[in-house]
Amino acid sequence: MRKNNFLVGIAVFLFCVLLIYVGVTFYFEWTKKDGTETETDADTESERDSDPTDTQETVVYEYVGAVDEEVLMTGKDEKYLLLANKRHPLRSDYAPSQLSFLPETLVTKDEQLESRTAAALTELMKEMHACGITDTLVTSAYRSYERQCELFNRYIQTEIACVNGFSEEALACLGYSYLREQYTNKGLHTLSYEDARRVVLTYSAEPGTSEHQTGLCVDFITEDMNGHLTTVFEEKEAFDWLSENAYKFGFILRYPKGKEGITGYTYEPWHYRFVGREAATEIHLNGLTLEEYLGLENE
């Protein structure tokens, strides 16, 4: 009897040890799992809450030359986020509040930019030179509404005149069969105003819709391009350098490839726009357009 009691005692003891073991193991597993979940939640929460601009705080800006960061606009300023496109035209009397001439060593002819943009661009080009790229100049910067009107109308007159036959742009825009039916077969050798305007709109901005009126953008060109802005610029060293470094000075590629539906403009590897370093960094790191950055891509 005493032996039986002893055995029952052992069995109860072992059962208790087993219970405690299972209990403790379960407790630890449970707290571990709970802890992980809490951590994940915290991560998700912080990701959700974090302003995308926070990522910018971790960006380290490295420059080869002696860049004067004092003159770069490192913060964000609404003034430099001005949108000018086909859906958001500028008024005919819009002009930058202060304009500065660019140093003559950096331009193909006299060019002006909004003053802080001019200062940032000068730093950008100093750095480009420090990196060994010395064949690149600014060929176009600020353009007034009146100047854009002049250019636009001159292009229309040229297309209407068809001095050397239909232009390449007219063929691309209107099509060979349309031109043959509407003009050649009828013995006509000049385009109508409406057709000329359609053609010009494929390569020139209607007054008010050109970003050059903001004084915040430039067109770059290399010496060997003979004054012609074409996508050949994409093959230049300057283009690669700008793709990697322009944002560090507050500039973005304004009309990227594949974003024509959003910007309303064909790809222009030479056209860079100043938005300030903070906005440029965010746009660059996230592969955005200005329209997307401003949340106005559908307007």
Smallest gap from residue 218 Cβ to Zn ion (A): 7
CB-CB neighbours of 243 under 10 Å: 14
| Nearest-angstrom CA–CA distance, 199 and 189 | 16
**Amino acid (1-letter code) at residue 208:** G
Smallest gap from residue 265 Cβ to Zn ion (A): 9
Kindly state the DSSP code that residue 85 receives in the 8-state scheme: S
The structure tokens 């003034």 sit at 79
> What residues are paired with 114 via a beta bridge?
99
Smallest gap from residue 186 Cβ to Zn ion (A): 37
Residues assigned a catalytic role: 268
| Nearest-angstrom CA–CA distance, 182 and 289 | 39
Smallest gap from residue 137 Cβ to Zn ion (A): 14
CB closer to Zn ion, 148 vs 245 = 148
Question: What is the Cα 118 distance to its own chain's centre?
Answer: 19
| Nearest-angstrom CA–CA distance, 263 and 255 | 6
Smallest gap from residue 205 Cβ to Zn ion (A): 9
CB closer to Zn ion, 159 vs 219 = 219
CB closer to Zn ion, 67 vs 262 = 262
**Residue of minimal CB distance from Zn ion?**
271
Q: Which residues bind Zn ion (CB under 5 A)?
A: 219, 271
| Nearest-angstrom CA–CA distance, 56 and 60 | 9
Kindly state the DSSP code that residue 70 receives in the 8-state scheme: T
| Nearest-angstrom CA–CA distance, 235 and 218 | 18
CB closer to Zn ion, 84 vs 179 = 84
CB closer to Zn ion, 67 vs 221 = 221
Give 270-297 as a DSSP string.
TEEEE--HHHHHHHHHHT--HHHHTT-T
